[in-house]
Amino acid sequence: MQVNGAPEPFSTSRLDALPLDAAHAEEMAEVLSDPALHTYTGGAPEDADALRARYERQAAGSPDPAELWWNWVLRVRGDGSLAGYVQATVRGERAEVAWVVGTRWQGSGYAKEGAGGLVRHLLDRGSVRTVVAHVHPDHGASAAVAAAAGLRPTGEQVDGEVRWRLDAVREGVPGHHRQGGAPRFPPRANRHPAG
């Protein structure tokens, strides 16, 4: 288990982000069961056993000690149900993030809230200064989530996806040093190596 580099839980106004555990597999298999969730990323829904095995690998952490795999499920505080997940692969001062919210919970703002909460959580910890996400150019909803979390498209493409980026120093995120100008931060509001 990723003891020294384990993710810490965090919360937003309506969501609790809980560190991923294999015990979440049964419920998450239902949350992620819609094949439409794979339209832009490929693949297909996994059953509870396959997710359990994946979650065990992810919770064990990266075999590379310089890289941290942080994964959280998103629990809706109002009814206690799991609605999706957020994740970050952290290497030094850079975190690559992704998010997925189940079809039943889409349209409620949970993806924006979860991704925005993740970005704030990473930056508030102090070690991450750059946050990156990759979004399919035709996935308007995911692009809106990235923008709401404070990321901006870079114009670069990686494996057919647009790279989005937030540089905390350059963007003047509070708590991060920036030369000149007033601090700015976005209003509150996909892919993982262990796949």
Question: What pLDDT digit, counting tens, does each position of 102-148 carry?
Answer: 999 999 999 999 999 999 999 998 889 999 999 999 999 999 999 99
The predicted structure's pLDDT at residue 172: 55
d(CA 12, CA 113): 7
Report the pLDDT value the prediction gives residue 163, as an integer from 0 to 100.
98
Predicted confidence (pLDDT) per residue in 62-82, tens digit: 999 999 999 999 999 999 999
Q: How far is CA 180 from CA 83, 107, 169, 177, 188, in A?
A: 40, 38, 11, 10, 24
